[in-house]
Structure 1
Amino acid sequence: MSTVHLIDHPLVQHKLTLMRRKEASTNSFRRMLGELSTLMAYELTRDMPLQEIEIETPLETTTGKVIDGKKLVLVSILRAGNGFLDGMLNVVPGSRIGHIGLFRDPQTLQPVEYYYKMPDKMCERDAIVVDPMLATGNSAAAAVSHLKNRSQPKSIKFMCLLAAPEGIATLQAAHPDVDIYTAAIDRQLDDHGYILPGLGDAGDRIFGTK
């Protein structure tokens, strides 16, 4: 079974609490999400492989370790996943970007795909799938299935702000090889598939559409 990594750094928890407040403006919500995603990106990239290269300092030749950001793909589940991208690119600016467009049918709560676009040579790349909310887990599981079936990256991780126990169970059952990184595991889902206590609809709060 995959591992659930709870990122409980004080700065992450502080910003998440401020984002949860219903009176947080679109501007402040978006800004804090960018800051928080940068902090979370440090944790996700902790085990990225390094290679040694030769460099010239002002005094002599030496070797140093670098990561190959071009081998990393940030896969955004549209539309809310895009809120993670700028913050993560602050840490790994060489990353490629992929998009999977899914919306949740309000009646069945099942994901419906409308867009898929990935960089080439995915078999040589590590993928981080990002979506702020892991609620029912259906969209996340579907996105990872599309990624595996169509692009076959070297590895896949999943990153979210909030996770519900139901969503974690769904994603782990469908993809036991995909580790989950989250800033909080909330209590449960309500009858409409929203996370409680949650923070509302992340997409609406990021883009100011409600």
Structure 2
Amino acid sequence: MSNVHVSNHPCAKAKLSLLRSASTNAKDTKNLVHEIATIVACDAFASGLAVQQTGTDQSPLGYDYTTEDVSPKNISLVPILRSGLSMVDAVQALLPSPVSVHHLGMYREESTLQPVEYYNNLPYHKAGDEDSVAELAIIVDPIIATGSTVCAAIETLRDWGVKRIISINILASETGLQRAAEAWPEGVELWVGGVDKETDARGMIEPGLGDIGDRLYLTMGK
């Protein structure tokens, strides 16, 4: 679909290959997620943000110049707990000014593989107060497997009132990515570092990255 963008960056592909390995430790896993997120976010922002003139300033030599900033200004970064936290610093570092970070906590129910929301700190939206809702929400979550979690996040953000969503992900399955792309085609752009064909009976991507949250936070075998 036209709202799906898969990275062709050679460095992203090479780093994704390293990230797949069961021998990659937690420290290197965290670094690789950060680096791939930076590459994917650079492409996403080059397409999804604009530049606007904001005024004038002076250089150290006393020359006047026109200042610029990104548009829109009202942006919220929305990590999906817990593994989405590993991508926040990478995305924040690319933006010229700090943006609000609103967390969504979701987990997959084991038998149905459906998402269950357990935490939501999006600010309360008062009728008529448009400034309380971000014009652009940026979802960060390393994995799109079945697509259920990102679709639930998209629905939550639509209900909140955002006008556009950019989803930045490290790896997706074909079916999960297709499902996410169809959730709100006119309002969502999905940017991923790579795509695998399918998921297994547990809803895990094959060959995938394993449980990236457990790998990041050393909670394997819980």
Q: TM-score range by the shorter chain?
A: over 0.9
Map Cα deviations across residues 92-135 of structure 1 (whole Å, 9 max, x no partner).
15121111111000100000011111257353431111111111
Aligned to 2:91: 88
1:160 pairs with one of 169, 173, 182: 169
Aligned to 2:127: none
Aligned to 1:27: 27
Q: Distance in 2 between matches of 1:112 and 1:124?
A: 24
CA change 1:173–1:31 in 2 (3 A) is same
Aligned to 2:115: 111
1:98 pairs with one of 102, 107, 112: 102
Q: Distance in 2 between matches of 1:129 and 1:154?
A: 13
Task: Name the stretch that deviates more: 65-74 or 121-130.
Answer: 65-74
Q: Distance in 1 between matches of 2:122 and 2:73?
A: 13
Asked whether the equivalents of residues 4 and 181 of structure 2 are also in contact (C-alpha less than 8 Å), the reply is no
Asked whether the equivalents of residues 15 and 36 of structure 1 are also in contact (C-alpha less than 8 Å), the reply is yes
State the Cα distance separating 1:169 from its structure 2 match: 2.3
Asked whether the equivalents of residues 122 and 153 of structure 1 are also in contact (C-alpha less than 8 Å), the reply is no
CA change 1:18–1:145 in 2 (3 A) is same
2:201 pairs with one of 177, 191, 198: 191
Asked whether the equivalents of residues 80 and 131 of structure 1 are also in contact (C-alpha less than 8 Å), the reply is yes
Q: Distance in 1 between matches of 2:33 and 2:22?
A: 15
Map Cα deviations across residues 60-115 of structure 1 (whole Å, 9 max, x no partner).
11213222585221111111111110111111151211111110001000000111
State the Cα distance separating 1:42 from its structure 2 match: 1.0
RMSD: 1.7
Q: Distance in 1 between matches of 2:207 and 2:132?
A: 37
Q: Distance in 2 between matches of 1:195 and 1:56?
A: 52
Q: Which amino acid in structure 1 is aligned with residue 87 of structure 2?
A: F
Structure 2 residue 182 is the aligned partner of structure 1 residue 173: yes
| Unaligned ranges ≥5, structure 1 | none
Map Cα deviations across residues 151-196 of structure 1 (whole Å, 9 max, x no partner).
2112111111111111022212322221211011102111110001
CA change 1:16–1:71 in 2 (3 A) is same
CA change 1:117–1:172 in 2 (3 A) is same
Asked whether the equivalents of residues 33 and 142 of structure 2 are also in contact (C-alpha less than 8 Å), the reply is no
2:66 pairs with one of 36, 39, 63: 63
Structure 2 residue 10 is the aligned partner of structure 1 residue 10: yes
Asked whether the equivalents of residues 2 and 180 of structure 1 are also in contact (C-alpha less than 8 Å), the reply is no
CA change 1:72–1:6 in 2 (3 A) is same
Q: Which amino acid in structure 2 is aligned with residue 94 of structure 1?
A: P
Equivalenced residue count is 209
Task: Name the stretch that deviates more: 171-180 or 117-126.
Answer: 117-126
Q: Which amino acid in structure 2 is aligned with residue 157 of structure 1?
A: I
Instruction: Give 1:116-127 correspondences, 5 Å limit.
Output: 116-119=120-123, 121-127=131-137
